[in-house]
Structure 1
Amino acid sequence: MLLLTGNYFLLLLVKLGVSGDNVEIEKHCEMGRKLLESGQLAGALSHYHSAVGSISSCNEMVHIKIQYLYLTYYERAAVFLAMGKSKSALSDLTRAIRLKPDDLIARLQMGNIFLKMGNTQKARENFQAVLQRSPDQDEARHQLMRANELEELQEKAHATHHRRDYRTTINVLDWVLVLSPWDPESLELRAECYIHLGNTRKAIQDLTPTAWLRNDNRAAFLKLSTLHYSLGENKKSIAHVRECLKLNQDDKKCLSHFKQVKKLIKQLDSAEEHIKEESYQMAISNYESVMKTEPNVPYYTNKAKERICFCLVKRDPRNINILRDRAEAFILNRDYGEARTLLIATLLRKHVLTLTVIQYVVVSPDEW
């Protein structure tokens, strides 16, 4: 932990001869420490911001103000790290090192952060700087070895990805991300592999943090929006594309996708409202529009066909062909419970199964 103890801080201030007018600074720092220890990070950060502001306006001599700032930046970096704001922590540690260049602990912490971010070059530079001043620093030596190991794994991951060996790439990136969990490039690469293998959920899981690990990451927000859209999760889709537009309201790709999702949501909601009102013909018309609006994503085509069949059944409950087609739509959407119910209803009226259904039962008996 970066944090210095409150007693040490107070002792230092006494030695420096800090005037009573500046006790406010120590109060802010002390409250910052207490709030950090209790997990109240926003409050802790607020007190450290106030401390920095008070230092800038105090009337102490320059060397005392430097000592104040060094300690405050040093401790505020710990709060930023606890909040997961690694870039802000790096910024404060950089300021602390400028004020006290011989601070090896701050350099070691910087190296550790760069390592977790996947920046092996910057990590090595900091670990080597520590070892130049303190050759017996065991942690720096150990972390330097990990930085070299990480670089080798990163190179292997890119090589296997280039060969389109996505499963091996994922296995290698699993180890990479143990060493560098804040590395957006590795997370994006693993997400791409999951997409190639058809595992959309895993891809979303990896891409979600990258939206915040990079500045102005509109590409990640748009990708997340399209992935949720492909799964039929329109509320999540539109939430992510809105984040993209917050960064740039004129982004053409984000704006185009936003309009597409919004139009589709309106058609789907309208169709379901008509079904509630038992206006089945109007609902059918809406779902036909859904298929025209989005003909390329199977989820919406299958959803529309299933709901159209539902409306037709409501209008003609004894139509066996409609029951069968609706059951097949449920199967395509992997809703096996509903499909089973409809097939039983079909069998009660006609003792036959379609070839598609027979094949599915044979291939996936565990689902029934």
Structure 2
Amino acid sequence: MLLNLYEMSQLSDSRKLTTVLLFLLLDLCFKRAESATSQADIDRHLEMGRDLLARGQLSDALTHYHAAVEGDPNNYLTYFKRGTVYLALGKSKFAINDFSRVLELKPDFIAARAQRGQVYLKMGDFDNAEVDLVNVLRMDPNNHDVNFQYARIDPARDQWALCLDVMQRGDFGTAIALLTQLLEICPWSVEIREARAQSYIRIGDRLAAVNDFRSVNRLSHDSTDGYYTLSKILYDLGDSGSALKEIRECLKLDPEHKDCFPFYKKIKKVDKVLMDAQSSLEEQRYADCTQYAEKLIKLEPDVPMMVYNGKQVLCSCLV
């Protein structure tokens, strides 16, 4: 029996509908399978992160927490865990970013707000520390740790103001003592550590200043001026190799930096002459050694430690 046109049309539509439903069903199955696999991967990264963290392998743990965050960017607990790893690594700015993200996703998560407030205090950001810790104490007034940290804010703020006043009056020895005390509360403060570095320079203790400037650069992550200043101090101390290393860090951030680039060319030239002089001495090529040492002295007659380096090599060449 032949089907009429109407029946054929209905049959065709029915087949099309069945095909569409089949594709939708398959798509849904694939998505569920993908979702299950993705969640399994996230759980695996979280578990490995926990295990590595327990073993003290912080950098490796951080890699797995990165992967977990990428897999589920709306899980506030994952951000919190990664933030605590950043804290353990001393990466305060990244920790702040993660704790802030936690509070965007879950504003009433007290632990994240308490942690962020304490990080702000360690960074010397007294105003933001006060805001966070006050909010925590409103919700949990008997929190011993938060009460302790909150009680430190006003004295630390007052001592920082005193440090600035003492430095302005030129009493850098007293300033160093006060700043050292303050850094026990605010060890991640770029401003406070840089103030102590500058105070060390003013009393002529450049080696101590080097340590503080290294900390400043590590905390800042993007301080071209810090790398330039540190490089200049190291160069003046006669350590052209270390000076070259620091100035390269500046150029990684800004390849055409107006101070770093010309200084880099200068250090590179001087360091090469010094290396050539030392190599000639080791290879007992004394005529070349003498030539390079004399060249080094002429290159930097106004930098006493570079002149000293040149004369030291020259004496060895002539012995």
For the aligned pair, the TM-score class normalised by the smaller chain equals 0.7 to 0.9
CA contact (8 A) 2:160 2:179 kept: yes
Give CA-to-partner distance per residue, 1:136-165, whole Å, 9 cap, x none. 333322211111111111111111111110
2:128 maps to 122
CA distance in 1, matches of 2:184, 2:50: 29
CA distance in 2, matches of 1:246, 1:119: 28
Structure 1 residue 257 displacement after superposition? 1.3
CA contact (8 A) 2:238 2:309 kept: no
- Structure 2 counterpart of 1:162, one-letter code: Q
- Structure 1 counterpart of 2:45, one-letter code: H
% identity of equivalent residues? 35
Q: Does 1:156 align with 2:162?
A: yes
- Structure 2 counterpart of 1:28, one-letter code: H
CA contact (8 A) 2:76 2:102 kept: yes
Give CA-to-partner distance per residue, 1:185-241, whole Å, 9 cap, x none. 111111111111111111111110111211420111111111111222121111111
CA contact (8 A) 2:196 2:209 kept: yes
TM-score (norm 1): 0.72
Q: Does 1:196 align with 2:202?
A: yes
CA distance in 1, matches of 2:94, 2:55: 21
| 1:161 counterpart SS class | helix
For the pair shown, the structure with the greater C-alpha radius of gyration is 2
Give CA-to-partner distance per residue, 1:105-156, whole Å, 9 cap, x none. 1111001000111111110010111122233333322211111111111111
Of 45, 55, 58 in structure 2, the residue corresponding to residue 41 of structure 1 is 58
* Worse-superposed segment, 21-30 or 176-185: 21-30
Point out which structure has higher relative CO (alpha carbons under 8 A, 6+ apart): 2
Structure 1 residue 288 displacement after superposition? 3.1
2:211 maps to 205
Unaligned stretches of 5+ residues in structure 1: 1-18, 57-65, 315-368
Moved over 6 A (4+): none
TM-score (norm 2): 0.82
Structure 1 residue 306 displacement after superposition? 4.3
CA distance in 1, matches of 2:209, 2:195: 9
Structure 1 residue 252 displacement after superposition? 2.2
Of 117, 123, 128 in structure 2, the residue corresponding to residue 111 of structure 1 is 117
**In 2 relative to 1, CA 310–34 (structure 1 residues): closer, same or farther, beyond 3 Å?**
closer
Of 272, 277, 280 in structure 2, the residue corresponding to residue 271 of structure 1 is 277
CA RMSD of aligned residues (A): 2.0
- Structure 1 counterpart of 2:208, one-letter code: K
Give CA-to-partner distance per residue, 1:241-288, whole Å, 9 cap, x none. 1111111111121111111111112222333444444443x5444333
Give CA-to-partner distance per residue, 1:322-349, whole Å, 9 cap, x none. xxxxxxxxxxxxxxxxxxxxxxxxxxxx
CA distance in 1, matches of 2:72, 2:310: 64
**In 2 relative to 1, CA 83–273 (structure 1 residues): closer, same or farther, beyond 3 Å?**
closer
